[in-house]
């Protein structure tokens, strides 16, 4: 079975940039980027990243803002923060070279069993298994494994089966072959069994159950996800925009965004704690409404225009506050910052509408355009 997968992969492997190298660092970067992200999206990010941070030492030496800016648009920013922290540990603990064993790899921030298996098998030729969504689907059908593939007992069985199958020779090609089979042949709907090198061994195909397996629990509907509603303020002064940077941990950790709070009262209180006085437009309606669905929650951000009086300090940013810093940034240099996707979307809409920084009341037509764009 393993030999068939390796032969098939040798003949059908796609030419992807991270497959042109056996550099464990490059494989690490690619595997982290590919988590919950499509190959077509990752490809240009990976190539730019490797030019900018070609080694763990280069990544470790870069400031976090530069790292997050390079990641901007890929989402799940905790992956970028963990890569940065992990690179610094690789330099401090392993002299700049990734360790070869899965156990040592798992000691790095953000590196779990799957990523460790990928780096160890592909980068170092170690006999280590890996199980992602594609591999789980292939193995579930191949061995008619019942049970939700995300449930603990089923996941443990899948890992056990994968571990038994990994060959001594070319374990990385075998693991990549299983992933490729799941990606291109053993697809969730309408699998191409006639093109599969394991078709005659597949229990699901033999019993006509390819549509039933694997068993996957239902996803939570978007409407049932908790709503995070915030009031944000657009503060512009002489071509500079005031942004706030979140603390490193938690949602959007380490990213810059428009200053925001759950409501106008708490937003004004935050600026008062910083030594300033926030003056928001009197209009009750926001100038722009941003709506976004994340993996586990929904965002609803109402953007208001304002001005701030006084000199802002840092004394009001205590340990319990969401932000660690506020600063004025030139509108022309925001691409060099790690800006949260929600604020970057608001920036794009500002460029299109060009209507809310003059601090004059919006016309009825502008209000209608704003409401239409927010609904879209």
Identify the CATH assignment for 222-375 out of 3.20.20.80, 3.40.630.30, 3.90.79.10, 3.10.20.30: 3.90.79.10
Give the contacts of 197 (CB within 8 A, at least 6 positions apart).
Answer: 4, 5, 7, 8, 181
Is the CB of residue 128 less than 8 Å from the CB of residue 120? yes
Q: What pLDDT is stored for residue 296 in this prediction?
A: 85
Greater pLDDT, 133 or 358: 133
DSSP codes of every residue in 112-142: -HHHHHHIIIIIH--------HHHHHHHHHH
The whole-angstrom separation of Cα 192 and Cα 136 is 17
Helix axes 39-52, 64-71, angle to 10 degrees: 150
Q: Is 31 a catalytic residue?
A: yes
Q: What pLDDT is stored for residue 364 in this prediction?
A: 37
153-157, 247-251, 319-323, 365-369: the lowest-pLDDT one: 365-369
Mean pLDDT of the region 16-36: 97
The whole-angstrom separation of Cα 118 and Cα 115 is 5
Q: What pLDDT is stored for residue 358 in this prediction?
A: 54
The whole-angstrom separation of Cα 275 and Cα 334 is 25
Q: What pLDDT is stored for residue 374 in this prediction?
A: 36
List the structure tokens of 280. 């928001």
| 355 band by pLDDT with thresholds 50, 70 and 90 | low
**What stretches of the chain adopt beta strand conformation (E)?**
227-234, 236-237, 240-246, 256-257, 260-261, 277-280, 288-293, 298-309, 323-330
Q: What pLDDT is stored for residue 15 in this prediction?
A: 96
The whole-angstrom separation of Cα 71 and Cα 79 is 9
31-35, 127-131, 223-227: the lowest-pLDDT one: 223-227
| 112 band by pLDDT with thresholds 50, 70 and 90 | very high
| Cis peptide upstream of residue 106 (ω within 30 degrees of 0) | no
Q: What pLDDT is stored for residue 360 in this prediction?
A: 41
| 365 band by pLDDT with thresholds 50, 70 and 90 | very low
pLDDT tens-digit readout, 30-73 = 999 999 899 999 999 999 999 999 999 999 999 999 999 999 88
pLDDT tens-digit readout, 315-347 = 767 767 889 999 999 988 888 888 988 999 999
Q: What pLDDT is stored for residue 7 in this prediction?
A: 98
| 359 band by pLDDT with thresholds 50, 70 and 90 | very low
86-90, 150-154, 370-374: the lowest-pLDDT one: 370-374
Per-residue pLDDT at 371 exceeds 60: no
The whole-angstrom separation of Cα 179 and Cα 169 is 17
Write down the CATH superfamily of domain 2-206. Hypothetical protein; domain 2 (1.10.340.30)
Q: What pLDDT is stored for residue 75 in this prediction?
A: 85
The whole-angstrom separation of Cα 236 and Cα 229 is 23
Exposure string for 197-221, b = 16+ CB within 10 A, e = fewer? bbbeebebbeeeebeebbeeeeeee
Is the CB of residue 234 less than 8 Å from the CB of residue 302? no
Q: What pLDDT is stored for residue 361 in this prediction?
A: 40
Category of 99 on φ-ψ map: left (φ > 0), alpha (ψ -120 to 50) or beta: beta
| 282 band by pLDDT with thresholds 50, 70 and 90 | confident
pTM over the 0.85 mark: no
Catalytic residue among 11, 31, 47, 212: 31
- Please provide the average confidence, as pLDDT, over all residues in the chain: 90
Q: So where are the chain's domains?
A: 2-206, 222-375
Per-residue pLDDT at 235 exceeds 70: yes
pLDDT over 70 percentage in the chain: 93
Bridge partner residues of 208 (DSSP) = none
Give the contacts of 79 (CB within 8 A, at least 6 positions apart).
Answer: 32, 33, 35, 71, 110
pLDDT over 90 percentage in the chain: 76
pLDDT tens-digit readout, 158-197 = 999 999 999 999 999 999 999 999 999 999 999 999 999 9
80-94, 136-150, 355-369: the lowest-pLDDT one: 355-369
DSSP state of 224: G
Category of 293 on φ-ψ map: left (φ > 0), alpha (ψ -120 to 50) or beta: beta
């Amino acid at each position: 079975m393993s030999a068939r997968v390796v032969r098939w992969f040798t003949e059908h492997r796609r030419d992807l940039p991270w497959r042109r190298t056996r550099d464990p660092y490059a494989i690490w970067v690619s595997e982290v980027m590919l988590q919950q992200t499509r190959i077509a999206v990752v490809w240009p990010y990976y190539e730019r990243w490797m030019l900018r941070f070609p080694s763990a030492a280069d990544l470790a030496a870069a400031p976090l803002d530069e790292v997050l800016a390079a990641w901007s648009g890929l989402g799940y920013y905790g992956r970028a923060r963990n890569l940065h922290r992990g690179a610094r540990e690789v330099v401090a603990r392993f002299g700049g070279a990734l360790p070869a064993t899965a156990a040592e790899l798992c000691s790095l921030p953000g590196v779990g069993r799957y990523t460790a298996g990928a780096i160890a098998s592909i980068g170092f030729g170690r006999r280590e298994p890996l199980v992602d969504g594609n591999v789980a689907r292939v193995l579930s059908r191949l061995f008619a494994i019942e049970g939700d593939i995300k449930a603990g007992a089923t996941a443990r069985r899948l890992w056990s089966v994968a571990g038994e199958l990994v060959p001594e020779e070319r374990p990385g090609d075998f693991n990549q072959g299983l992933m490729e089979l799941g990606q291109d042949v053993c697809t969730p709907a309408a699998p191409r069994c006639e093109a599969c090198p394991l078709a005659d061994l597949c229990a699901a195909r033999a019993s006509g159950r390819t549509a039933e397996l694997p068993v996957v629990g239902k996803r939570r509907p978007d409407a049932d996800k908790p709503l995070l509603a915030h009031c944000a303020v657009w503060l512009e002064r002489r071509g500079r925009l005031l942004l706030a940077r979140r603390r490193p941990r938690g949602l959007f950790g380490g990213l810059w965004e428009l200053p925001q709070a759950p409501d106008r009262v708490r937003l004004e209180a935050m600026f008062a704690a910083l030594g300033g006085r926030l003056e928001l437009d009197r209009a009750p309606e926001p100038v722009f409404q941003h709506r976004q669905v994340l993996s586990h929650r929904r965002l609803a951000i109402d953007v208001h225009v304002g001005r701030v009086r006084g000199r802002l300090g840092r004394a009001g940013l205590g340990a319990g506050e969401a932000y660690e810093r506020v600063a004025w940034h030139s509108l022309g240099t925001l691409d060099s910052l790690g800006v949260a996707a929600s604020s970057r979307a608001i920036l794009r809409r500002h460029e299109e509408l060009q209507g809310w920084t003059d601090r004059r009341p919006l016309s009825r037509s502008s209000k209608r355009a704003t409401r239409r764009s927010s609904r879209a």
